[in-house]
Amino acid sequence: MRRPAAAALLGLSISLGPNALAVDGYRLYESTVASVNGEVLFLSDIVREGCFHRCAAMPGSEPEILSARECRDRLISDTLVLQEQRKLQLGQVDNMVLSAYGAESLERMGNCTSSCKEGITAERTREWVERKLLIREFFQRRVAGFVEVKEEDVQREFRLRAARADNAAELSEDQIREELQDAKVAQEIRNWYTRAASKSRVVLSPLEAK
């Protein structure tokens, strides 16, 4: 997605967190890291995002170490999708799918050796998985379902690969078609993010001191 200007700052870099608790007359305040069309993202959000990726919490994923900025960028992208999903009222994730993914994600987090998982509840993990599944479903319905690969493109790619490969006999048109489809879907998703970001108000706060 197109990144907003890094110099843009939140008017308030300290805000009341979404789960602030009163303890002995005090309130817990938390640093904000971004605002997406008025929806505030907190520092704890990007910390959890980084931990989920570090622990490969999503079934089928591999461990990934992300910087704070990369986590923030991904959260901003996710927020843009979820805001559109809510606006279009596209529905929720199938309960059986959510239950299966949630169970495996909890197992993955339980097996994770990183101390970052401390304090991340099972509820938070299930919420994160549900968001990721909603995003996947959104793009399957709004993007992938409308992407087509022309047969002439498959044939042209097949001829190109066959001409430069020693194992031409092992080439499969179905495999090439699937690869072209995946590449086209990925490009359309990038285009969607670019358009969504251009129409949105994304305000950042500095991460250097966080």
In a domain, 170, yes or no: yes
pTM value is 0.77
* Count: domains in the chain: 1
- Structure confidence by residue, pLDDT tens digits, 38-77: 999 999 999 999 999 999 999 999 999 999 999 999 999 9
Give a yes or no: residue 45 inside a domain.
Answer: no
Q: What is the pLDDT of residues 155-195, one digit of tens each?
A: 888 888 888 766 655 678 888 899 999 999 999 999 999 99
- Amino acid code (one letter) for 189: I
Question: Rounded CA gap, 105 and 129, in Å?
Answer: 7
Q: Show the domain range for 157.
A: 146-199
Q: What integer pLDDT is reported at residue 203 of this predicted model?
A: 94
Is residue 31 in a domain? Answer: no
Whether residue 161 lies inside any domain: the answer is yes
The answer as to whether 194 is a domain residue is yes
Segment among 24-38, 47-61, 145-159 with least mean pLDDT? 24-38
The answer to whether residue 90 sits within a structural domain is no
Q: Does the residue 5 lie in any domain?
A: no
Exposed/middle/buried for residue 65 (C-beta within 10 Å: 0-12, 13-18, 19+)? exposed
Is residue 106 in some structural domain? no
Give the Cα separation of 148 and 161 in Å (integer).
Answer: 21
Q: What is the pLDDT of residue 18?
A: 44
